[in-house]
Chains A and B, each alone.
Chain A
Amino acid sequence: AQSVTQLGSHVSVSEGALVLLRCNYSSSVPPYLFWYVQYPNQGLQLLLKYTTGATLVKGINGFEAEFKKSETSFHLTKPSAHMSDAAEYFCAVSEEEGGSYIPTFGRGTSLIVHP
């Protein structure tokens, strides 16, 4: 069974500082991994995904994540935080099962950006 653990329900950074949001997963097969962002009162928007190939994945808005199989991690980073990055971030994992892919989401990390 697949599962996701996001370390830290809240992360607070200053504008311009490095953003690091942590995600560890559990999967019985090679996983597909995703990061989504959710702004207040909105749905989830896909930031980036790892399926196969290069382990460093670049996404939208300057975010990137690195798949580390040995650490079962898929941490999200951004070199310099912007005020507009304040939102809820969700890590998700999915496996192929019976021809379908159903992602399991973590509990989310709220990113707070201070001026």
Chain B
Amino acid sequence: ETGVTQSPTHLIKTRGQQVTLRCSSQSGHNTVSWYQQALGQGPQFIFQYYREEENGRGNFPPRFSGLQFPNYSSELNVNALELDDSALYLCASSLASRNYGYTFGSGTRLTVV
């Protein structure tokens, strides 16, 4: 059973640029969620995808967008990067209708300069 894999592991971008983060979900999982974890904070929910549709969104602006693909992998896109976007971005997969907890990837550390 493969876990959740995220790429890249680290990324440095300049303010105003755009970034795409990628996530492969755990085998058998059909739901993907993205979280932002600022330094010293708990993960904050960005959005969730199920069957390629967004089915839940946290308090993040529209410049945070995502995609889920037929194989349940996912992308997180952030436009017009701001310094406060610097954080660890976590992808988590789960099986819809089964609240057995999420399986998290190791995250992508994004630094905006």
Tell me the residues in window 46-60 of chain A with beta carbons closer than 8 Å to chain B beta carbons. 46, 49, 51
Q: Which residues of B contact A108 (CB under 8 A)?
A: 40-42
A-B contact pairs, 7 of them (CB 8 A): A43-B104, A51-B99, A90-B42, A99-B55, A100-B31, A100-B56, A101-B99
Residues of A that sit less than 8 Å from B by CB: 32, 34, 36, 41-46, 49, 51, 90, 94, 96-108
Binds A, one of B14-22, B43-51, B61-69, B74-82: B43-51
B96 contacts A by Cβ under 8 Å:
yes
A90 and B43 form a contact (CB under 8 A): yes
| Contact status of A43 and B56, CB under 8 A, knowing A51-B100, A100-B96, A101-B99 | no
CB distance from B55 to the nearest CB of A (A): 6
> Which residue from B35, B55, B101 sits with its C-beta under 8 Å from A34?
B101
A46 and B41 form a contact (CB under 8 A): no
Interface of A is mostly: strand
Q: Which residues of B contact A96 (CB under 8 A)?
A: 99
CB distance from B99 to the nearest CB of A (A): 4
A100 and B100 form a contact (CB under 8 A): no
B103 contacts A by Cβ under 8 Å:
yes
A100 and B41 form a contact (CB under 8 A): no
| Contact status of A102 and B56, CB under 8 A, knowing A45-B104, A49-B101, A96-B99 | yes
Q: Which residues of A contact B94 (CB under 8 A)?
A: 101
CB distance from A110 to the nearest CB of B (A): 9
Name which residue of chain B comes closest to A39, CB basis: B106
| Contact status of A94 and B99, CB under 8 A, knowing A43-B4, A43-B90 | yes
A100 and B104 form a contact (CB under 8 A): no
| Contact status of A42 and B106, CB under 8 A, knowing A100-B50, A105-B42, A107-B42 | yes
